[in-house]
Each structure stands twice: as structure tokens, then as C-alpha cells.
Amino acid sequence: MSHVQTLGTPCLRAFTRAVPASLAAFYTIDDTLSARDFQLAGDARSTHDLYLERYRHLDPLQPGHCLQTGRQVLLLDEGLAFQSEARNRRYQGFLRQHDVVDIAEVLFHARGRPVLGLSLLRRSEHGRFTRAEMATLQSLQEMMQLAVDQRPPALQHAEETLSPSPALTAREAQLAELIRHGLSNKAMARELGIAPSTVKTHLDHLYRKLGVANRTELVSRLYL
């Protein structure tokens, strides 16, 4: 188990003790700004499985969106500003189905980009996050960031010598994730609220950047 993965359990414990949450998930963030390697707390499994299967691409608090704000602690309402009303309605419908009334996202950075994240979900029994609770989350984020910054030298060297995928823009990361889930160009255009021709332009650039010729090679390059 890596130094990063060992942070998951104490991080979940510390944050949920300080600020109550109905569900929580700790995850790593790869070079495409996609969340992966989830560790869950609470009765989150069924909700999380449905999220990954049908709603992940609609999540307004994806790392790419959060990165654009320049902040490390965000609420659901702040993330909704990055998406169309149609996408938000679909995602909020999923949340209502599971009685989720608010979400706080906490990110941890290394080398200028997010590498770890924490999602705290509140059901109606807990209500929405208060200003005081957000201040507590911010303080905990700063403490946890120190642990991320102080990872062992051997791990730092290994990270620096890996051959990473080229950095993707937020839009390219969104498209890559939708391709991973098998959406067509037209379906991606509807999901993102852009023209199919714009999707094609982004994909052509993405293929060139990654040195791939088709969707199968793209998924293999980024996710396998």
C-alpha cells in the first residue's frame, strides 16, 4: 500500500468526526483529473456504484471543475455554476433519489495539481453545511495538505520519474471520461451543451496530444 493510500482511512475518520457526514469517499486523482481508487465511509456502496455507472460524468464537483476555482474546499452550489441547467437537473435528481441535500468537496494538491480528494455528502438528517463547518473543513484541509507535502523522498522520486500522460484541459478530461463510458459524439455534445462539430474538434486535438488513432487506443492510453 502506498503512502498516499494509507492517508485514506485516517483522513475519512478525522473529517467525519469533525464535521458529520452521511456518506464520505476518499479518492486519488490521476493525470487526466479523474477520480479513482475510492475508499468509502458510511452506507455509501449502493449510491457510489450507481454514481459510477450513470452519473459520474454529470458531477459538478469533478476535480477539473474544482481546479478552475483555485480553491481546495467547495460546496455543491459552487460546482453547479460550471454546468448547464439540463446537466444539473439530472444530477440533482440523482441526489434527491438518495436524499442527498449537500456535498462538500476537499482537494489536496501536489506539483501544482489536485492529487487527492474527499467527498462529504449530507442527507436531510444532517442538513446543509454551515459556514462554521466549512471553516472547520478548511482548517482540516490545511493540516492534511502538510501530510501530502511531506511524503517520503523515495515516493517523490518515483512520482517524478514516471512517464505521465500529457496534461489534459478540463474539457479534454470531460470528453475522455465520456468516451470511457461509451458515449457517442452526439451524446457527448448533448451532455456538455456544445455542438457535435466542437466535440469532433476537441477529439481530434486529444488524439494528437495522446498519440492515438481511435477511442479504444485513447481509453487504453489513459485508463489501462
Same domain, 96 and 32: yes
**pTM to 2 decimals?**
0.68
- 166 pLDDT tier (thresholds 50, 70, 90): low
Question: 96: domain range?
Answer: 3-160
41 by DSSP, 3-state: which? strand
Distance CA 19, CA 105 (A): 13
**Cα end-to-end distance, the chain, whole Å:** 19
Q: What angle do CA 94, 95, 99 make, to 5 degrees?
A: 125
What is the pLDDT, as a whole number, of residue 219?
78
| 163 has a pLDDT exceeding 70 | no
One-letter amino acid of 91: Y
What is the pLDDT, as a whole number, of residue 2?
47
Judged by phi (left if over 0) then psi (alpha if -120 to 50, else beta), residue 160 lies in: alpha
Same domain, 62 and 87: yes
Same domain, 200 and 133: no
| 25 has a pLDDT exceeding 90 | yes
Quote the cell numbers at residue 203: 477529439
What is the pLDDT, as a whole number, of residue 80?
92
Residue 192's domain is classified under what CATH number?
A: 1.10.10.10
Distance CA 41, CA 74 (A): 20
Distance CA 97, CA 23 (A): 14
| 150 has a pLDDT exceeding 90 | no
Task: Please identify, among 109, 138, 160, the residue that sits at the C-terminal boundary of a domain.
Answer: 160
Is 211 within the bounds of a domain?
yes
Handedness of CA 42, 24, 167, 154 (dihedral sign): negative
Give residue-wise pLDDT tens across range 65-94.
888 888 899 999 999 988 899 999 999 999
What is the pLDDT, as a whole number, of residue 128?
96
Q: How many domains does the chain have?
A: 2
Task: Please identify, among 121, 137, 160, the residue that sits at the C-terminal boundary of a domain.
Answer: 160
Is 165 within the bounds of a domain?
no
Same domain, 205 and 123: no
